[in-house]
Structure 1
């Protein structure tokens, strides 16, 4: 698995007066206590029942850890955060209503519990498709963009594609994503993916004939 782009602990200080800066319900504090501290302005919610100290802006490390905290501990090493969830981790999409989890189709995994906050997608995953962010497996920016070209709601996926490509740290230019998609053999949905990528490329180039995108709001 490629080395992470993001240092761990990232923006999180190693020690604070309370022993840390990222808090999940059931740890030091209960969910009620964390929500009360959020209302008092002491914490800001990252995702689910995970919060970060008020003076820290959540980064990919915070978001990856917050997403993982929503999943059963035994499942965390077996899955990969992907699609719009991965785009959110990278700061390129709003928080997902439900986490998108990827698992290799040849790997056995326990089914998600009823009313799970996540959706599981069985896909083909290669060794270069994932990266480690603070111990959480996340699809690489390139794999994420390739997936968003084929999957997800049109507007949200288009916005995420543009945001991924616009961040130079992610090394995910749309032209490269298109070339990889075009060269992939027997790729389901290839024609639709290429069409979406062509429209994203036109938008990025400022083509007035394309719908103007809205900037994603990242919490």
Structure 2
């Protein structure tokens, strides 16, 4: 079985079914040939943990229509950007009044209707993801306070992520009259000023 994993270095995601059953995937993981990207989604262990691999894993849980229509957002986008642990639920953003059927695997999937501008999204591998600034904005408004503080401290404290405190404050201010705006600003202003987070 391991010979099938030794091909080109693509972002092939393996889930129970074809070509491997769930027990075979468990054996391949135990042997070190595969690693888990998301619960129920595996990748060749030799593949680096990149944003492209993570978006491929998310895409593997979705049908083709939802893959094209949805944008990875909120804490799931923070995970794609490397600033949050493995999510327990996939959070996807869709256009207003746009509902699509979900294919559920081992993860919960939640859809959130919202308006996204062209500057709010970028394509990483197989799917669109909110930009770091839009991700930080959504986390400030929608994530529970504990995870939000951790994610935002990491996003604002590393040079790898194209997001800084001033951009985030400006993005929050630009939202106009919106519930939770004061709490989001207080959250960001309350974060320590860090030089870098490894």
Q: When the two structures are superposed, what TM-score results if normalisation uses the length of structure 1?
A: 0.78
Corresponding position: 1:41 with 2:29: no
Unpaired segments ≥5 residues, structure 1: 1-14, 207-214
Question: Partners in 1 of 2:57 and 2:96 — Cα distance?
Answer: 25
Q: 1:199 aligns with which of 183, 190, 198?
A: 190
> Aligned with 1:24: secondary structure?
coil
Corresponding position: 1:29 with 2:5: no
Q: 2:128 aligns with which of 124, 137, 146?
A: 137
Equivalent pairs counted in the alignment come to 191
CA apart distance, 1:92:
0.5
1:5-32 deviation digits (Å, cap 9, x = unpaired): xxxxxxxxxx973455533223433333
Unpaired segments ≥5 residues, structure 2: none
1:58-101 deviation digits (Å, cap 9, x = unpaired): 11111111011112222110101100000000110001101011
CA apart distance, 1:53:
2.1
Residues 75 and 109, structure 1, Cα contact 8 Å, conserved in 2:
no
Name the Cα RMSD after superposition: 2.5
Question: Partners in 2 of 1:46 and 1:85 — Cα distance?
Answer: 13
Counterpart for residue 147 of structure 2: 156
Question: Partners in 1 of 2:39 and 2:86 — Cα distance?
Answer: 10
Distance 1:165 1:27, change over 3 A: farther
CA apart distance, 1:179:
2.0
Q: When the two structures are superposed, what TM-score results if normalisation uses the length of structure 2?
A: 0.85
